[in-house]
Amino acid sequence: MSLIPSAGIQSLKESLSKLKERFDGTDGEPYIVESKKFKALYFDSESTQSLMDMQAPIRLVVSYTETMMGFLLFHENPKSIAMIGLGGGSLAKYCHHYLPGASILVLENNSKVIALKNKFHVPVNSAHFKVLEADGAAYLRDTEEKFDVLLVDGYTKLGQAVQLCSEDFYASCLACLNPNGVLVINFSGAAGLNQVYQERIDRVFEYPSVLVVEDDRMNQILFVCKDLSLSTPSEDLLKRSASLSKAHDIHLARTAQNFLTQRKLDAR
């Protein structure tokens, strides 16, 4: 979840204005706003759940999704990826396209969001790609599956789902990660509350997390691993981002720089 990036404000403004009175106040009902350039998923008119470029459906439009793909800096070729929160499927589509060797599981508890997935060009379910209607926290608590990467971006109309913020949930994430696995969480909202969540994560994981603040200050992306990957030397991480950028059309160099800036601040 994020606010609309500046590139999309003008193109969505007229349509959004017309739809606001009609849709605001509904009980978290997802709806779509379209312009000539973008298609957006909303629960209300205050924030965008997902944004898709109509001419390039796989492209990551909202900057925080690019930052979440920063897991590539620490796990370049994952074989298993689990995601909590489908939205418009931006991360799911990107991973399906650019990481064809990965098995991808998307957990979404809102059937009405899943019902809109075809409108956002989300791939159909297959042997290596599956969107499952399920509560992500309950699924991870009960499963014996292991994943290389966990991406958590689960929001309702009221904000981040409460079941995705508990110490028990973070313990489930830890248990579901492979030995060199990485957990990435999108936090959107009060920085102080996000700090509380980070402290919970640090109590659960053996290695400290890094919370990267997005340039627009609206989102914070947390990275935590089950090994020393987050301690990769700065020079090596920048070289890795340059190499990965040859295959990925996302701002990995920016993500690496923001990550290193925050890591340096945390070390003080």
**Which residues carry out catalysis?**
153
Say how far apart CA 64 and CA 73 lie, in whole Å: 15
Q: Residue 168: which residues within 8 A CB-CB, separation 6 or more? A: 137, 141
Amino acid, res. 132? L
192 touches 211 (CB < 8 A): no
At which residue do the structure tokens 């418009």 appear? 88
Tell how strand 177-188 and strand 147-152 pair up.
parallel
Beta bridge partners of 210: 223
Among 106, 13, 26, 89, smallest CA distance to 52 is for 89
25 touches 33 (CB < 8 A): no
71 touches 222 (CB < 8 A): no
